């Protein structure tokens, strides 16, 4: 029997990272009051649940350690708590600290991501945005996975059609998401949403060393994730992503500590 990573994942994995953001980016552009970081985090978390599949132990003190991530129940059990955690981590620590070290990428203005921590949202907007992102993910998967919920329910949508849709949707939605990101960069929308003046890109001190450490940590995460090959390709990719986020958080903390100690050294005495 062929090895299966999970009930839901047979096809192209990168879909988690760009295709699934395609529906939420226009939502944020249309309704800026929504929490964009939470929308994006929510659109990824169902697939992050894959990292928990086939772990041991399956239960810890009677508490389940496996989550499918794509069921209605998992919206509250997995997507909401993990999505909130990811949102806080990205907005409060990782993006404000590390985005200045990203290449700005021309019109995309990736460094504008350093401003995402400035806007404040009510807790129910943040939670609602995570859920909207996760629900959009589950709805799309229903049409584009051969055993998705819509397959067989909607006339004409059989397993074969769903398999074709998966490839077409991955490419088309990813291209659409890149276009949306380009528009967001072109309009400097992140600056507008966070109420800061758009500024030229920055060259922070220690730029090269932070970039080198970031690349090394990403490679280390990949090497660690590769030890999960037994559990399937999708689990490897998702494990790599989760480890990379954790590594980015550690790097961001280190950058902040160094910056703080340098300020202390530079600060005038007396
Ligand atoms: Zn999925």
Query: What's the structural domain count of the chain?
Result: 1
Q: How far is the CA of 146 from the centre of ligand 1 (A)?
A: 12
- Looking at the domain assignment, is residue 211 inside a domain? no
What pLDDT is recorded for position 4?
A: 38
Alpha-carbon Rg for the chain in angstroms: 20
Tell whether the model's pLDDT for residue 6 goes beyond 80. no
Calculate how far, in angstroms, residue 137's C-alpha sits from the geometric centre of ligand 1: 6
**HSE, side-chain direction, 13 A CA sphere, residue 246:** 11
How far is residue 220 from each of residues 1, 213, 227, measured CA to CA in Å?
A: 32, 10, 11
Angstrom distances, CA of residue 47 to CA of 167, 259, 265: 17, 35, 45
In a domain, residue 78? The reply is: yes
pLDDT tens digits, residue range 28-45?
Answer: 999 999 999 999 999 999
Residue of 131, 134, 152, 133 lying closest to 143 (CA atoms)? 152
Domain for residue 260, yes or no?
no
Quote the ligand 1 centre to 51 CA distance (angstroms). Answer: 12
Residue numbers of the domain that contains 168: 14-201
Instruction: Please report whether residue 117 resides in a domain.
Output: yes
pLDDT, one tens digit per residue, over 152-198 is 788 888 888 888 888 888 899 999 999 999 999 999 999 999 999 99
Whether 246 maps to a domain, the answer reads no
Query: What's the gap in Å between 138 CA and the centre of ligand 1?
Result: 6
Give a yes or no: residue 220 inside a domain.
Answer: no
d(CA 94, CA 250): 9
C-alpha distances out from residue 232 to 168, 202, 227, 269, Å: 23, 40, 11, 58
pLDDT of res. 256:
95
In this prediction the pTM is 0.89
| pLDDT higher at 67 or 57 | 67
In a domain, 170, yes or no: yes
Q: For helices 123-144 and 36-48, give the axis angle rounded to 10 degrees.
A: 50
The whole-chain average pLDDT of the chain stands at: 89
pLDDT of amino acid 174: 94
The DSSP result for 222-262, as a single string, is HHHHHTTGGG-HHHHHHHHHHHHHHHHHHHHHHHHHHHHHH
Q: What is the pLDDT of residue 13?
A: 45
228 inside domain = no
For 189, the token pair is 């929308």
- Ligand 1: distance of its center to the CA of 180 in Å? 21
C-alpha of residue 218 to centroid of ligand 1, in Å: 23
Q: What share of the chain is helix, strand, coil (3-state, %, to 5)?
A: 65, 0, 30
Distance 246 CA to ligand 1 centre (A): 21
Kindly give the distance from the C-alpha atom of residue 49 to the centroid of ligand 1, in angstroms, as a whole number: 9
Distance 233 CA to ligand 1 centre (A): 14
């Amino acid at each position: 029997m062929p090895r299966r990573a999970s009930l839901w994942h047979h096809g192209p994995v990168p879909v988690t990272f760009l295709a699934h953001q395609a529906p939420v980016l226009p939502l944020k552009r249309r309704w800026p009051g929504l929490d964009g970081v939470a929308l994006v985090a929510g659109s990824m978390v169902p697939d992050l649940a894959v990292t928990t599949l086939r772990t041991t132990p399956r239960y810890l003190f009677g508490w389940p350690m496996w989550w499918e991530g794509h069921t209605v129940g998992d919206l509250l059990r997995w997507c909401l708590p993990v999505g909130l955690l990811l949102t806080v981590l990205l907005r409060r620590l990782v993006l404000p600290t590390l985005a200045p070290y990203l290449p700005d990428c021309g019109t995309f203005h990736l460094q504008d991501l350093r401003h995402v921590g400035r806007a404040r949202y009510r807790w129910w907007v943040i939670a609602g945005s995570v859920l909207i992102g996760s629900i959009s993910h589950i709805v799309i998967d229903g049409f584009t996975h051969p055993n998705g919920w819509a397959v067989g329910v909607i006339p004409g949508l059989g397993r074969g059609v769903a398999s074709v849709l998966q490839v077409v949707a991955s490419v088309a939605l990813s291209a659409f998401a890149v276009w949306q990101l380009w528009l967001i960069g072109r309009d400097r929308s992140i600056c507008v949403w966070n109420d800061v003046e758009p500024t030229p890109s920055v060259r922070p001190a220690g730029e090269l060393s932070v970039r080198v450490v970031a690349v090394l940590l990403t490679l280390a995460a990949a090497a660690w994730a590769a030890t999960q090959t037994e559990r399937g390709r999708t689990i490897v990719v998702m494990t790599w992503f989760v480890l990379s986020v954790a590594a980015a958080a550690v790097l961001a903390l280190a950058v902040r500590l160094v910056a703080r100690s340098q300020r202390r050294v530079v600060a005038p005495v007396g």
